[in-house]
Amino acid sequence: MATLTILKYPDPFLKKPAASVPEKEDMEGLVQDMFETMYAARGIGLACPQVGIGKRVIVLDVSPVDEASKPLALINPEIISREGKEESEEGCLSVPELSVKISRASKVTVSGYTPEWELVQIAAEGILAIALQHEIDHLDGVLIVDYLSRLKREFYKKKVKKMYAQRM
């Protein structure tokens, strides 16, 4: 297993939609590396584009917030139904030092494949529903900064440039 490098905004790769994974492609090693990377970064979700891989694969573990949850990896996930509305503050491993209030569906049903290529449907609500929508956004090239107004997004871009300049 290996810890992968998490891309940070404004890396242009984060805005590229990910490609579907061909059926039966071996994903075990990649999924393990993604879990290791997510845990090392203290996150609850990670999508392949965040580590520079253009594949529709996500990993989640919301158990720090919802103890009843178990780790989950999905290949080619898609939201097949949405219900209700809920606003919550979201952060992102690829968008440091930013929290955005986002309105999302309060309940979702997601279809996708396990790493063993078993087709599953997951009915989710609460933090799991939010995390699934957030990670699927990454697969579509959508970041939490895209939910900000243009003015707030420009302010954040300036903050990021200053933050990266100070680290050099």
DSSP result, 95-136: EEEEEEEEEE-SEEEEEEE-TT--EEEEEEEHHHHHHHHHHH
- Structural tokens at position 81: 């139904």
- Structural tokens at position 96: 């440091």
Main-chain phi, psi angles of 156, to 5 degrees:
-65, -40
122, β-bridge pairs: 110
Amino acid at 106: S
Q: Say if residue 96 is preceded by a cis peptide, omega within 30 of 0.
A: no
Q: Catalytic residue at 135?
A: yes
Query: Which of these is catalytic: 23, 90, 118, 135?
Result: 135
Look-up: residue for tokens 């997004």?
153
* Measured distance CA(38)–CA(135) in Å, rounded: 12
Q: Which residues are catalytic?
A: 135
